[in-house]
């Protein structure tokens, strides 16, 4: 069954639309029928069996380290950048037209305009914070950024209330510099960039499709490498990088999806036939990213694993993907792997356990732990097209003893989350994909997360908005549910983290009919946002995002962020900016 990825997503769009238009109620089953979710592998698949994971060899797998690589030595090799233009790095331009997530949402958006299948539901109460006009003038002289707070999780339609007290301009940006762009990150034509960033005590690392770069905190570049060289993946089709710095252990973890011999001319992947596609994980041996890394490969036999998300807890690494094949996961299945963190740090043989691919949930997002926790916490909007629930799960135990147990903790009611309209920009639009969770962190019993959503600032026009939600884990309730929006300014692709004293720090994209794609940064207490950089050019590529990056600075009360923006010097292609905010 050679799967055509374009056909997979096109079929998914049609099926989602049928569900939206022809039914009045969407019924979602949970990933597993019991509260304690059994991790299933191979013969361990009886849903009526004990919920605890068996410690037998059938249920716990292990992998050896593939290789060790030294990033500093690698970057000093004279031919390392030749691979960026020699054809070893896959040209994403063709595949992006085939394997395009927009196929899921664009058809739904078109139908919504005709059928009104997706309608905006106003929050029951809302407060509006208008920021210092100086920050908005730089972007669009007629617009004002504001924060709409959903103070109730119930669903209803009432008028919004607002206040117009001016808030101080966000002044936390201390330094920023140009990150990787379409020329330096992927001259062969990758889009979207899929920007991710993390920080240790001394270093900053940014990853994009399909390169990485390391700086010190003054912005001095120390190393750059194509991802295929760093991971040793050769001509394989690699994509969707992610990086985190685990301050609890002092080590870096970096993920990359590998679709092996995907055929760019036809869009066919062979993950469920001749190839075993995988997620590559690089783990630093110290807190210095320029030193040695251990490379591991986690196999996903029979599936195309898309958009890996990684997060760490005290003793575990979680890897979450959306699986695709030509059978039960034709429309996508959420799946989570859990690996022994301590073994990965030492470069030893790694034990791991995993859930069965589940077609009832899409995109489970592990929350990066910023404070000590024995369990990996996870959050999902369940259905990225339309949902009024947040699903919260966790994974406890360690795969080294075969004891990992998944727990479905709660489905928290919220006001409707739905596919947002495409964002506006001068000369075109920006694809906002869907309402899956984009970003999540755990700190002291709370999960902060963010995603793209649809909202209305004027009560009439539906537009793309950033939505930020804060879940209180002990009570399983929403502490905060907030839209970041503006009249004639769309916001999208948030990335969140927290500083060492528990303050939220955010980066998000912003643009409008009179403004280019730009980057805003801000935080709560009080809510305030300001431009990190004002865009100067239209993004003409069909894909944007698919996500931005944010990482806590272990040294103090700040964070490092990175995102995509429009740069007139790159003729419609993407640029990224790396910045420090506090």
pLDDT digits (tens, 9 = 90+) for 542-557: 789 999 999 999 998 8
pLDDT band at residue 339 under the 50/70/90 scheme: very high
Q: How far apart are CA 560 and CA 550, in angstroms?
A: 6
pLDDT score recorded for residue 101 = 35
111: left (phi over 0), alpha (psi -120 to 50) or beta: alpha
pLDDT of 522 higher than 80: yes
pLDDT band at residue 137 under the 50/70/90 scheme: low
Residue of 110 and 96 predicted with greater confidence: 110
Q: Do 309 and 322 touch, CB atoms closer than 8 A?
A: no
Could you tell me the two tokens for 159? 């008028």
pLDDT of 149 higher than 70: no
Q: How far apart are CA 453 and CA 306, in angstroms?
A: 21
Residue 36, Cβ neighbours under 10 Å: how many? 14
Residue of 152 and 273 predicted with greater confidence: 273
pLDDT score recorded for residue 571 = 84
Rounded average pLDDT over 61-81: 77
pLDDT band at residue 268 under the 50/70/90 scheme: confident
Give burial (CB, 10 Å; 0-12/13-18/19+) of 468: buried
Q: Do 253 and 310 touch, CB atoms closer than 8 A?
A: yes
Ranges 90-94, 97-101, 342-346, most confident: 342-346
**pLDDT tens track for 152-189:** 322 222 222 232 223 334 556 568 999 999 999 988 78
Residue 437 forms beta bridges with which residues?
451
Ranges 30-34, 39-43, 163-167, 334-338, most confident: 334-338
Rounded average pLDDT over 558-564: 96
**pLDDT tens track for 190-210:** 889 999 999 999 999 999 999
Q: Do 170 and 522 touch, CB atoms closer than 8 A?
A: yes
pLDDT of 443 higher than 50: yes
The torsion angle over the Cα atoms of residues 419, 420, 423 and 424, rounded to 10 degrees, is 120
pLDDT score recorded for residue 74 = 77
Q: Do 362 and 433 touch, CB atoms closer than 8 A?
A: no
Q: How far apart are CA 514 and CA 354, in angstroms?
A: 47
Q: How far apart are CA 475 and CA 489, in angstroms?
A: 35
Q: How far apart are CA 504 and CA 175, in angstroms?
A: 18
H helix intervals, 199-329: 227-231
pLDDT band at residue 460 under the 50/70/90 scheme: confident
- Residue 127 has phi, psi (to 5 degrees) of -115, 150
Mean pLDDT of the chain, nearest integer: 78
**pLDDT tens track for 391-413:** 999 999 999 999 999 999 999 99
Residue whose token pair is 């209803």: 156
In the sheet with 61-63, reading across from the earlier edge strand, the strands are 61-63, 350-354, 333-340, 316-324, 304-312
**pLDDT tens track for 512-521:** 999 999 999 9
Q: How far apart are CA 215 and CA 552, in angstroms?
A: 16
Q: How far apart are CA 196 and CA 210, in angstroms?
A: 11
pLDDT score recorded for residue 542 = 74
Rounded average pLDDT over 40-60: 34
Q: How far apart are CA 415 and CA 152, in angstroms?
A: 8
pLDDT of 498 higher than 60: yes
The DSSP code for 133 is H
pLDDT band at residue 28 under the 50/70/90 scheme: very low
Give burial (CB, 10 Å; 0-12/13-18/19+) of 179: buried
Whole-angstrom Cα Rg for the chain: 22
pLDDT of 576 higher than 80: yes
Residue of 272 and 29 predicted with greater confidence: 272
Could you tell me the two tokens for 305? 């694993």
Q: Do 423 and 432 touch, CB atoms closer than 8 A?
A: yes
Q: What is the pTM of this model?
A: 0.82
pLDDT band at residue 92 under the 50/70/90 scheme: very low
Q: How far apart are CA 350 and CA 270, in angstroms?
A: 26
Containing domain of residue 529, as a range?
Answer: 3-117+126-168+177-581
Residue of 489 and 118 predicted with greater confidence: 489
pLDDT score recorded for residue 484 = 87
Q: Are strands 368-369 and 376-380 parallel, antiparallel or unpaired?
A: unpaired
Number of domains within the chain: 1
Residues 6+ apart with CB under 8 A from 531: 135, 138, 139, 510, 518, 519, 520, 521
pLDDT of 253 higher than 50: yes
The percent of residues above 90 in pLDDT, for the chain, comes to 58
Q: Are strands 211-216 and 203-208 parallel, antiparallel or unpaired?
A: antiparallel
In the three-class reduction of DSSP (H, G, I as helix; E, B as strand; rest coil), residue 400 is classed as helix
Rounded average pLDDT over 87-112: 37
Q: Do 494 and 427 touch, CB atoms closer than 8 A?
A: no
- Residue 273 has phi, psi (to 5 degrees) of -135, -85
**Range with lowest mean pLDDT among 140-144, 388-392, 476-480:** 140-144
pLDDT score recorded for residue 391 = 97
Could you tell me the two tokens for 545? 């995002």
pLDDT of 91 higher than 90: no
């Amino acid at each position: 069954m050679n799967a055509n990825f374009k056909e997979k997503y096109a079929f998914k769009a049609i099926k989602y639309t049928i569900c939206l238009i022809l039914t009045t109620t969407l019924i979602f089953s949970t990933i597993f029928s019991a509260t304690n979710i059994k991790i299933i592998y191979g013969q361990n698949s009886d849903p009526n069996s004990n919920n605890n994971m068996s410690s037998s060899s059938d249920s716990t797998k292990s992998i050896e380290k593939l290789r060790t690589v030294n990033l500093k030595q690698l970057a000093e090799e004279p031919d390392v950048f030749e691979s960026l233009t020699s054809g070893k790095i896959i040209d994403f331009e063709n595949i992006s037209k085939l394997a395009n997530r927009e196929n899921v949402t664009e058809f739904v958006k078109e139908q919504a305009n005709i059928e009104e299948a997706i309608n905006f539901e106003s929050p029951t109460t809302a407060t509006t914070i208008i920021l210092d006009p100086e920050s908005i003038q730089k972007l669009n002289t007629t617009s004002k950024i504001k924060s709409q707070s959903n103070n109730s999780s119930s669903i209803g339609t009432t008028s919004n209330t607002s206040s117009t007290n001016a808030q101080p301009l966000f002044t936390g940006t201390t330094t920023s510099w140009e990150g990787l762009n379409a020329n330096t990150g992927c001259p062969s034509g990758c889009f979207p960039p899929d920007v991710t960033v993390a920080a240790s005590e001394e270093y900053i690392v940014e990853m994009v499709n399909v390169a990485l770069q390391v700086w010190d905190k003054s912005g001095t570049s120390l190393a750059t490498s194509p991802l295929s060289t760093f991971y040793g993946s050769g001509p394989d089709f690699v994509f969707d990088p992610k990086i985190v710095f685990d301050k609890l252990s002092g080590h870096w973890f970096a993920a990359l999806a590998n679709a092996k011999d995907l055929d760019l001319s036809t869009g066919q992947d062979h993950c469920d036939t001749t190839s075993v596609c995988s997620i590559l994980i690089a783990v630093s041996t110290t807190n210095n990213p320029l030193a040695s890394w251990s490379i591991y490969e986690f196999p996903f036999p029979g599936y195309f694993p898309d958009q890996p998300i990684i997060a760490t807890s005290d003793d575990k690494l979680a890897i979450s993907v959306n699986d695709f094949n030509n059978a039960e996961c034709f429309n996508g299945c959420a799946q989570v792997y859990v690996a022994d963190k301590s073994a990965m740090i030492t470069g030893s043989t790694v034990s791991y356990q995993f859930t069965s691919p589940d077609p009832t949930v899409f995109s489970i997002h592990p929350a990066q732990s910023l404070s000590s926790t024995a369990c990996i916490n996870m959050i999902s909007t369940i259905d990225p097209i339309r949902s009024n629930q947040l699903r919260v799960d966790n994974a406890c135990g360690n795969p080294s003893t075969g004891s990992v147990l998944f727990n479905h903790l709660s489905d928290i009611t919220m006001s409707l989350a739905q596919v947002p309209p495409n964002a506006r920009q001068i000369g075109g639009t920006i694809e906002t994909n869907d309402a899956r969770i984009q970003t999540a962190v755990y700190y002291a019993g709370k999960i902060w997360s963010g995603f793209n959503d649809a909202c209305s600032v004027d009560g009439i026009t539906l537009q793309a908005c950033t939505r930020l939600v804060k879940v209180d884990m002990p009570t399983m309730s929403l502490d905060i549910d907030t839209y970041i929006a503006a009249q004639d300014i769309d916001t999208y692709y948030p990335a969140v983290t927290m500083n060492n004293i528990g303050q939220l720090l955010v980066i998000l994209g912003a643009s409008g009919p009179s403004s280019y794609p730009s980057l805003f940064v801000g935080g709560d207490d009080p809510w305030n946002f300001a431009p990190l950089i004002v865009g100067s050019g239209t993004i003409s590529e069909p894909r944007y995002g698919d996500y931005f990056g944010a990482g806590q600075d272990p040294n103090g009360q700040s964070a490092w962020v990175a995102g995509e923006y429009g740069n007139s010097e790159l003729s419609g292609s993407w640029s990224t900016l790396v910045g420090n905010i506090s």
